[in-house]
Each structure stands twice: as C-alpha cells, then as structure tokens.
Chain A
Amino acid sequence: MSSHYEAPIREPLVTGDKSYHDVSVEIAAPIEGRANKSWWIVFSIALVAFLWGLGCIIYTVSTGIGVWGLNKTIGWAWDITNFVWWVGIGHAGTLISAVLLLFRQKWRMAVNRSAEAMTIFAVVQAGLFPIIHMGRPWLAYWVLPIPNQFGSLWVNFNSPLLWDVFAISTYLSVSLVFWWTGLLPDFAMIRDRATKPFQKKIYTLLSFGWSGRVKDWQRFEEVSLVLAGLATPLVLSVHTIVSFDFATSVVPGWHSTIFPPYFVAGAIFSGFAMVQTLLLIMRKVVNLEDYITVLHIEYMNKVIILTGGIVSVAYITEFFIGWYSGSPYENYTYLSWGAATGPYWWAFWALITCNFIVPLSLWVKKLRRNIMWTFVVALIINTGMWFERFNIIVVDLSHGRTPSSWAMFSPTFVDIGVFIGTIGFFFVLFLLYARTFPVIAQAEVKTILKSSGEKYKKLRAEHGDE
C-alpha cells in the first residue's frame, strides 16, 4: 500500500523510543489495570445524569409531549436540535475512519478507534430522539414497511422523516460493523495477553478467532477499503437526509438548497470538536501522549479550520441569498438581519461567536498547537453547533409566514433533563469503552511505526534513507 519511505520533512506520528511490544503494553494497560477513583467518580456522575434523563423520558412518554416546552407554532425544538446535534457529532468518527483512510492519512490511526466509538455512542443518543419525540412512541414500528393486517398498509416513502429512519439505522449498523472488524486484531492481542481466565474467555469471544494469517490480513485490508468506500457516501448522505427534514419544507429559512453539503460540513466541524474534547482528556488520563501527539491535535484543528471555513461560507451564502431573494419572509430566518436584532438575538450571536469568530484563532499556529486552548475552542464549537441547530429549528419556526401564529419557545426542565440524560448516557458508554476496549488501533499503529516513528526517523536521518 504505502512504502516505508517518508519525507524527512514530515513530523513523527509516534514519539518516544517505541518498539512493537511497547505499543501493545501501553495500549493494553488500561484494560489490564483497575479503574481508579476518579474514573468511578466521573462514571457515577454520568450514570446519575443518565438515570435522571431516563426518568424524564419515562415521564414524557407516560404523561404526554405536553410536558415539554413545545407549542403549536414551534413543534420541534430541543428534541430535534439534540437529535441533529448528536448525529452531527457522530460524523467525525466515520470521517476519520473512512474518508481519512481513502486519503491515506496515517495520523488517523491513533484517533480512529475512539472516534468510531464516539460515532456509535452519539448515534445511539441521536436515535432516542426520533422515538421519544413521537406522540405515540409505542406505534413507532409503523414507520417500517412491514406487511400487516390493515390490508398491508404501508408507509409513504416521500417523507424525509422516513428517509431518516433508513439513514440512521443503516449508518449505525455500517459504523458498527466497520468498527468491529477493525477491533478484531486488537481484541486478539488482548486475548493473547490476558492472564485471568474470565478475561481470556470474554476476549476470545469478542475477537472471533482472529489468528492474523497473511490471507486474513489481505482480506481485512480489502474489507476496510470497501467499507471505507461505502461509508464515505453514507456519511455524506446521512446528514444530507437529516438536512432534508428541513430543506424539503417550504418554511422560510428551512427551504435552502445549500443545506445538504452545509449540514455535512457542520457535522464534521462539530464532530471533530467532540473528538478533540474527548481525546485531549483521554491521552492524558490513559498516558497516550506518545500516540496522540500535538501533531495529531494540530491536524484535527486544521480539519476544524477547513470545515469551519466551509460552514462560514455557507452562513454568508445564507445571509446573502436571504437578502438577494427579495422575499420579505426571508427577513426573519436564522441568518438574517431580523434574527440578529430580534428576540433571539442572543442565539444568533452565540452562533456567530462560537462557530465563526472563535475558531478563527486556530489559524495561529501557536494556538492550534496549544492543548488548553484547543480544548476551550472545542467546547465552544460544541456549544456553537448546538446553537446552530437550535437557531435553524426554533428561530425559523418562531416567525413564520403568518404573524398571528408567531411565538416564542422556552424549554421545560423535562426538555433539559432529557438532553442531560443523553449526555450522561453517552459518557457512561464512553467511559465503559475506555476501560474495556483498546482505545488505539494498535495493529494499525504498528504499520506506521517504522515509517513515521520518531526513533526510526532519527535512524534514517543518521544513516541515510536509501
């Protein structure tokens, strides 16, 4: 695939004097060790948040959607905002594992495993909202085209909400398979190192009898490439279909043709911010600074600059075309003069500040290599991208075509509780993952150790690279 030669100008991707064995030991360490006190504290907090959210969900379903802050004008608010936000976060994982694989970016190997885990867990959170925001969630199975006793009553395939069902479920299943195939050699490594019989049994089951023969590896790479080729159009289409929920409508501000690529760019933007948030902590806690280096952080910040730039151009386009259309209704869309000065001005300016102004600081090399600053910016982007979805949904709905139905939205504690619950659930899953799964794809990192490892690059510099 790629040769062992690498231009000396490239910075090393694995620092320290690492051998293959070191890689195995350091990646297996968190699984083989025991959780410390701070892990239990954080896990408990996440669990409590999750249980609280679960309570709010049960309360909503058993009492009725009316316990949320929705009204007749604004029928979608936090529910769909959170849905789109979580789906968007999930997209970075597939981008890292699939798109960066197609572009042969070696640096992805240290971050892909956790990014994919993040995808799966984020999509699980997202998947809750389409169900619980239904008035009658127990009839949710009606969205599936199953032959039935109502004279085989079927679904209408014209609705983007139905496309969502297919998009999200396909996305989750393909991501899961992609993730799991990548995990096989790593589980096998844990299996082979395990000393406790119970652990050995578990990882034997998980690794599907991987023995690492040449033929297996050959097919493994082939499958990865095919899945990456399939996952790339999938990741584009999934968020495109999510964007269709809005863009196919005739609501001013929603009906915009730029939504498909713009939502995808925004998804990658927010997803990478979440990857940064998680990995900056993880590399510290699990001692993986030699694998997830400052260079990785800088590369991810560059992706954030790129996608943030694309999103900014889309903002400008939306703002401009809103004016250019000459339609008076376009004057109160989420990116318009009306929005900047109207009752939701704070949401508008939160969006502009968080997604446009603050990320500009990453153009400065010193700042994008600064870990603390990266962490701050990543959190700000996560907030900003939540506001983007909130603005698109709520601001556009609040001032529709008929002034007599203009309304404002304010969330109830249940709206907020459900959102907090999903954040809790996400961290419950992610924390469990970090203790039981190899968080870095050791098999892949080993393939670049000799071309991109610091030790070997030094050797080449001393002895020539022929």
Chain B
Amino acid sequence: MYTLPSKLKITAIILMVVGLIGLVIGFLDAPDNVEEVKEMMAAQSHHGEEAEHDEATANMNEEGYIETAGRGIKGSDATQEVDHPVAGEGAHEADSEAHYEHLLHQLQTKPWSALFVSAFFFFMIALGALVFYAIQYAAQAGWSPVLFRVIEGITAYLLPGSIIVFLIVIFAGTHFFPWQNEELVAEDKILQLKSGYLNFPFFLIRAIIYVLGWNLYRFFARKYSDRQEEVAANDYRPYRKLFKASVGFLVFFIITESLMSWDWFMSMTPHWYSTLFAWYIFASLFVSAITVIAMVTVYLKKGGYIPFVNDSHLHDLAKFMFAFSIFWTYLWFGQFMLIWYANIPEEVTYFTMRIENYNLLFFGMLILNFVFPILLLMNSDYKRVPLFVLIAGTIILIGHYIDIFLLVMPSTVGPNWYFGLPEFGGLLFFLGLFIIVVGSGLGKLKLLPKNNPFLKESEHYHY
C-alpha cells in the first residue's frame, strides 16, 4: 500500500497556497476600466512622443486586422478595415479609443487564461491516462496489467480536474468565447451563421455530456476492476464488462474529444477553423498522459511500492512516449504546413498571430516536443534507464504545457502575454492539487491488480 509521504503532501499544499496567491493577485491586478489600462501603458512606456505613438497605433491596426479576421472582435468584415484605412484625426482618436477598449478586455482575460491553461493541462493528463487505460483493455494488452492501478491512481484526478475545467469554460463567458457577446454577434454575419452550434445553452449541454461521460467510465472502470479482485479465479465476468465499457468509452471519447476541442479551444477564435484541430489536441493530451504514467511508475518503483514492474515495462512506456511525440509532431506539421502552404487569409491568421507574437515559444516547443524526445529516447537501452525517462518526460511535459499555452493565450490575450504571476501561480496550484489527488488516489488502491486474466503474462513480461 502506498501513502503519500507527509513531506510531499506539505510541499504540495505549499505549492497550492503559493499558486492560489499568484492567481488571486493576477485577478486583482487586472484593470477594471480603460483609464487603468492607459495608466498601465503610460507606466510601461515613458515616451509619449507623437511619432512613436503613431507607429504604435499603426502596429495596433495590423494586430487589429489579425484579431478581427480570426476572432471576430470588431465585426466580420475584416477586409473592409484594410480597404478604408483610418482617415483624419477624429477617426484616429476613435480607433485608438477602441484599441484601449480591446486592450482592457485582453488584460482582463489574462488571469482567466492563465487559470485555464494550467487547469486544462493537468486535467488532460488524467483524461489521457484514462484513454490509455481503455486502450490497454480494448487491445487485451499482455504487458500492461501490472500498471493498471498506477493508471487508475492518476485518473483519480479526472473528477476534480474535469469539474474545475467545466466551471472555467462555463463562467469564462466572453473572456474566452467572443461568440457569447450578443452585441458582437448582432453585427457579425459569420457568427450569426454559426449560432446554431455556438450558443450558450447548447454549449452548456455539450460540456455536461462530455464531463459526465468521461467520469462515468472512470467510475465503472474502478468498480469492475475492484470486483474482478473479489470474484473467484477464472471468473472473468467483471473483466469482460470492463472490456465492453472500454470499447464503448473509446467510441464516446473520439467523438466527444472532437467536440470538446471545437467548443473549448477552436471557438475562442470563432472565425477560424481547421479540420485537424481536434486530433492535434488529442495527440498532445495522449503523449502528456503517457509521460506522466511513466514518471509516476518510476517514482513508485523507486519507492519500492511496485516490485512487480520491471524495466521492460518502463521500456514500453518510453517507447510510447517516443512514438507519440513523433505522432504529435506529425499532426503539428500537417496542420501548420497545409495552412502555411495554401495561405488562405481566413485560416492563416491563426499562425500569423502565433509566429509574430509568440515566435520563440511556437518554434521552441518543437525542440522540446520533438527533437529532445527523439534523441533521448531513440536508444533502446536509454528507455530502460529511469533517469532518462524522467529527463525526457520533464522536457515533454514542459513542451506540452507550452503547447496548451499556445492554444489559449494567442486566442484570448493576443500580443499582451507574458509569463507572469498568474501563469506561474496557476501552474503551481494545479501541480499541488494533482500531487495530492493522485497521491491519495494511489493510496486507496492495492497496487497489484489480482485476478486479471493477463496478469501473469504481464508479471513475466520481458522484452
């Protein structure tokens, strides 16, 4: 039996407290009105020279175009703005006023986005682990049953994690989802067209279905896997039920995951669309989850809690980390290259924003998510060394945090991003929560699942 060491527990609590403080400060620091934004801007830039100001406004206009085309902030007809550039001093003033208004909105959104990035990052690890678990059952894998309890422990975070994410997307309102702004929709033909799908009641219902469905599977998976321990040997009825539930869950998941990605991420820029988007998010979710499974396995193995897990199991997990890092890159490239190649204005805005304002992060994550894993985990021997798995795992997790950061931030706060107190606070808070929930989740389980039909194969597994 595993118990979360008190030292780790206290560390996690400290992380949560510090993180919470960071988040609260982030929310308090956000400006309340346009005047405050102007003060903040004045404090930041001590110039005030007219020429520079003009240049800044010109840049803002360009940003405005990218924003408008992708996100639909100021109405649908983005090209109109470009065709009729601001003429005269009066229009200039009005435009800069609108810009401050826009800036205010982005700065108010910033703590929300920081909260969401971290909340979703840790939630998706639990969800991805659940998918991995279901796949292992559906595929009747012979190597992994000794890891089932470890995975079940990680998925303990699904319930709190999914509720938090659910509450954030429901209450974020126009901070994340411009299509929830009725005034905006009234003057935007494209958003009106989409309102059959993008409307709040339907959005809410869908979110409830996803969260409910995922948690139900996790509930029944735990139930059946416990029952399998209680029944007589060679009675595999609970196992068969779990097998069927897993197959059903996978079908449910592939559909709800697509809808979730469109709802919670793609509709942040409601004018933009990409058919691959949902699968791309899946790749990120899946590889992060496998990485965490591997890292938790290494941790428990080191503590001596799972003596039945050997380095062949670790080798397999590391292979999955390696393979799905490449798979993620494949989808990243597929989406990016096709949009870059065709260069259709309404699509390319998504990447223009990211390359212009997030250049280092955008291309840097490729090194973290692709180059490092491929080099570190190519060698078969390295995949059996816990230290290598931990190093590669840490890099992969940082890379995919950045990936989620890049899904959200450019769409919500635009160019006004920095990695500050709320972002850091969110990360620490959810890390602490994740450690506590997963730790106590593991504490409730017997780490060796008895009676699983493939358990013996798994215990004797050697590659």
Where the two chains meet, the residues of A that have a C-beta atom closer than 8 Å to any C-beta of B are 1-3, 5-10, 103, 233, 236, 240, 244, 247-250, 255-261, 309-310, 313-314, 316-318, 320-321, 324-327
User: B139: which A residues are within 8 A, CB to CB?
Assistant: 103
Sample (23) of A-B pairs whose CB atoms are under 8 Å apart: A3-B460, A3-B461, A3-B462, A5-B460, A9-B454, A10-B140, A233-B326, A236-B330, A248-B342, A257-B334, A257-B335, A257-B338, A257-B339, A259-B334, A260-B330, A260-B338, A261-B330, A310-B254, A313-B254, A313-B258, A317-B258, A326-B190, A326-B193
**In the complex the two chains form, is A321's CB within 8 Å of B344's CB?**
no
Near A by CB (< 8 A), chain B positions 261-284 give 262, 273-279
B387 lies within 8 A of chain A by Cβ = no
**In the complex the two chains form, is B338's CB within 8 Å of A255's CB?**
yes
**In the complex the two chains form, is A7's CB within 8 Å of B344's CB?**
no
Near A by CB (< 8 A), chain B positions 424-463 give 453-454, 456-457, 460-463
Identity of the chain B residue whose Cβ is nearest the Cβ of A233 in the assembled complex:
B326
**In the complex the two chains form, is B331's CB within 8 Å of A261's CB?**
yes
**In the complex the two chains form, is A248's CB within 8 Å of B194's CB?**
no
B417 lies within 8 A of chain A by Cβ = no
User: A325: which B residues are within 8 A, CB to CB?
Assistant: 273
| Alpha-carbon distance between A259 and B197 when the two chains are bound, in angstroms | 24
**In the complex the two chains form, is A9's CB within 8 Å of B197's CB?**
no
User: A256: which B residues are within 8 A, CB to CB?
Assistant: 275, 338
**In the complex the two chains form, is A248's CB within 8 Å of B276's CB?**
no
Near A by CB (< 8 A), chain B positions 291-336 give 326, 330-331, 334-335
| Alpha-carbon distance between A7 and B461 when the two chains are bound, in angstroms | 12
Residue-wise interface mask of B (10-24) relative to A, using a CB-CB cutoff of 8 A (1 in contact, 0 not): 000000000000000
User: B276: which A residues are within 8 A, CB to CB?
Assistant: 257-258, 260-261
Identity of the chain B residue whose Cβ is nearest the Cβ of A232 in the assembled complex:
B323
User: A257: which B residues are within 8 A, CB to CB?
Assistant: 274-277, 334-335, 338-339
B75 lies within 8 A of chain A by Cβ = no
| Alpha-carbon distance between A326 and B254 when the two chains are bound, in angstroms | 24
B278, B338, B346: most-surrounded residue (chain A CB, <10 A): B338
Identity of the chain B residue whose Cβ is nearest the Cβ of A240 in the assembled complex:
B334
| Alpha-carbon distance between A249 and B338 when the two chains are bound, in angstroms | 8
User: B31: which A residues are within 8 A, CB to CB?
Assistant: none
| Alpha-carbon distance between A321 and B236 when the two chains are bound, in angstroms | 43
**In the complex the two chains form, is A258's CB within 8 Å of B275's CB?**
yes
B335, B457, B461, B462: most-surrounded residue (chain A CB, <10 A): B457
A247 to chain B, nearest CB (A): 5
A24 to chain B, nearest CB (A): 28
B419 lies within 8 A of chain A by Cβ = no
B113 to chain A, nearest CB (A): 23
Given A233-B326, A248-B338, A327-B346, 6 more contacts at CB 8 Å?
Answer: A1-B463, A6-B142, A255-B344, A257-B335, A317-B275, A324-B194
A12 to chain B, nearest CB (A): 15
Residue-wise interface mask of B (331-374) relative to A, using a CB-CB cutoff of 8 A (1 in contact, 0 not): 10011011101101010000000000000000000000000000
**In the complex the two chains form, is A324's CB within 8 Å of B254's CB?**
no
A276 to chain B, nearest CB (A): 20
User: A316: which B residues are within 8 A, CB to CB?
Assistant: 255, 258
Identity of the chain B residue whose Cβ is nearest the Cβ of A310 in the assembled complex:
B254
Within the complex, which residue of A9, A236, A258, A326 is in contact with B194, where a contact is CB–CB below 8 Å? A326
User: B51: which A residues are within 8 A, CB to CB?
Assistant: none
B335, B342, B454, B456: most-surrounded residue (chain A CB, <10 A): B342
A232 to chain B, nearest CB (A): 8
Residue-wise interface mask of B (123-159) relative to A, using a CB-CB cutoff of 8 A (1 in contact, 0 not): 0000000000000000110100000000000000000
| Alpha-carbon distance between A376 and B168 when the two chains are bound, in angstroms | 50
A266 to chain B, nearest CB (A): 14
| Alpha-carbon distance between A255 and B347 when the two chains are bound, in angstroms | 11
**In the complex the two chains form, is B334's CB within 8 Å of A9's CB?**
no
| Alpha-carbon distance between A1 and B316 when the two chains are bound, in angstroms | 13
Within the complex, which residue of A8, A9, A244, A318 is in contact with B275, where a contact is CB–CB below 8 Å? A318
Residue-wise interface mask of B (162-173) relative to A, using a CB-CB cutoff of 8 A (1 in contact, 0 not): 000000000000
| Alpha-carbon distance between A247 and B342 when the two chains are bound, in angstroms | 8
| Alpha-carbon distance between A103 and B141 when the two chains are bound, in angstroms | 9
| Alpha-carbon distance between A239 and B451 when the two chains are bound, in angstroms | 43
B331 to chain A, nearest CB (A): 7
| Alpha-carbon distance between A317 and B258 when the two chains are bound, in angstroms | 8
**In the complex the two chains form, is A250's CB within 8 Å of B344's CB?**
yes
* The 6 residue pairs across chains A and B that have the minimum distance between CB atoms: A258-B275, A257-B276, A260-B334, A9-B453, A326-B193, A248-B341
B194 to chain A, nearest CB (A): 6
User: B254: which A residues are within 8 A, CB to CB?
Assistant: 309-310, 313
Residue-wise interface mask of B (196-236) relative to A, using a CB-CB cutoff of 8 A (1 in contact, 0 not): 01000000000000000000000000000000000000001
**In the complex the two chains form, is B460's CB within 8 Å of A324's CB?**
no
Within the complex, which residue of B190, B334, B457 is in contact with A261, where a contact is CB–CB below 8 Å? B334
User: A5: which B residues are within 8 A, CB to CB?
Assistant: 456-457, 460
**In the complex the two chains form, is A7's CB within 8 Å of B334's CB?**
no
B343 to chain A, nearest CB (A): 8
**In the complex the two chains form, is B236's CB within 8 Å of A9's CB?**
yes
User: B346: which A residues are within 8 A, CB to CB?
Assistant: 327
B190, B334, B463: most-surrounded residue (chain A CB, <10 A): B334
User: A1: which B residues are within 8 A, CB to CB?
Assistant: 463
Q: A1-B463, A318-B275 given as contacts; is B338 within 8 A of A7 (CB)? A: no
| Alpha-carbon distance between A240 and B330 when the two chains are bound, in angstroms | 10
Q: A3-B462, A324-B194 given as contacts; is B342 within 8 A of A255 (CB)? A: yes
B251 lies within 8 A of chain A by Cβ = yes
B114 to chain A, nearest CB (A): 28
| Alpha-carbon distance between A324 and B190 when the two chains are bound, in angstroms | 9
User: B331: which A residues are within 8 A, CB to CB?
Assistant: 260-261
**In the complex the two chains form, is B251's CB within 8 Å of A250's CB?**
no
User: A250: which B residues are within 8 A, CB to CB?
Assistant: 342, 344
User: B338: which A residues are within 8 A, CB to CB?
Assistant: 244, 247-248, 255-257, 259-260
| Alpha-carbon distance between A320 and B196 when the two chains are bound, in angstroms | 12
Identity of the chain A residue whose Cβ is nearest the Cβ of B335 in the assembled complex:
A257
Identity of the chain A residue whose Cβ is nearest the Cβ of B255 in the assembled complex:
A313
| Alpha-carbon distance between A313 and B337 when the two chains are bound, in angstroms | 22
| Alpha-carbon distance between A248 and B336 when the two chains are bound, in angstroms | 11
| Alpha-carbon distance between A258 and B280 when the two chains are bound, in angstroms | 9
Identity of the chain B residue whose Cβ is nearest the Cβ of A248 in the assembled complex:
B341
B203 to chain A, nearest CB (A): 14
User: A258: which B residues are within 8 A, CB to CB?
Assistant: 275-276, 279
User: B334: which A residues are within 8 A, CB to CB?
Assistant: 240, 257, 259-261
User: B460: which A residues are within 8 A, CB to CB?
Assistant: 3, 5
A233 to chain B, nearest CB (A): 7
| Alpha-carbon distance between A309 and B248 when the two chains are bound, in angstroms | 12
| Alpha-carbon distance between A320 and B259 when the two chains are bound, in angstroms | 10
B273, B331, B453, B463: most-surrounded residue (chain A CB, <10 A): B273
**In the complex the two chains form, is A7's CB within 8 Å of B453's CB?**
yes
**In the complex the two chains form, is B342's CB within 8 Å of A7's CB?**
no
User: B273: which A residues are within 8 A, CB to CB?
Assistant: 321, 324-325
**In the complex the two chains form, is B279's CB within 8 Å of A261's CB?**
yes
Within the complex, which residue of A9, A317, A326 is in contact with B278, where a contact is CB–CB below 8 Å? A317
A220 to chain B, nearest CB (A): 17
| Alpha-carbon distance between A295 and B282 when the two chains are bound, in angstroms | 31
Identity of the chain B residue whose Cβ is nearest the Cβ of A249 in the assembled complex:
B342
**In the complex the two chains form, is B279's CB within 8 Å of A7's CB?**
no
**In the complex the two chains form, is B457's CB within 8 Å of A7's CB?**
yes
| Alpha-carbon distance between A9 and B239 when the two chains are bound, in angstroms | 12
B248 to chain A, nearest CB (A): 11
A240 to chain B, nearest CB (A): 7
**In the complex the two chains form, is B258's CB within 8 Å of A324's CB?**
no
**In the complex the two chains form, is B463's CB within 8 Å of A7's CB?**
no
Identity of the chain A residue whose Cβ is nearest the Cβ of B330 in the assembled complex:
A236
Identity of the chain B residue whose Cβ is nearest the Cβ of A330 in the assembled complex:
B273
A305 to chain B, nearest CB (A): 9
| Alpha-carbon distance between A7 and B239 when the two chains are bound, in angstroms | 14
A60 to chain B, nearest CB (A): 31
| Alpha-carbon distance between A152 and B457 when the two chains are bound, in angstroms | 61
Identity of the chain A residue whose Cβ is nearest the Cβ of B336 in the assembled complex:
A257
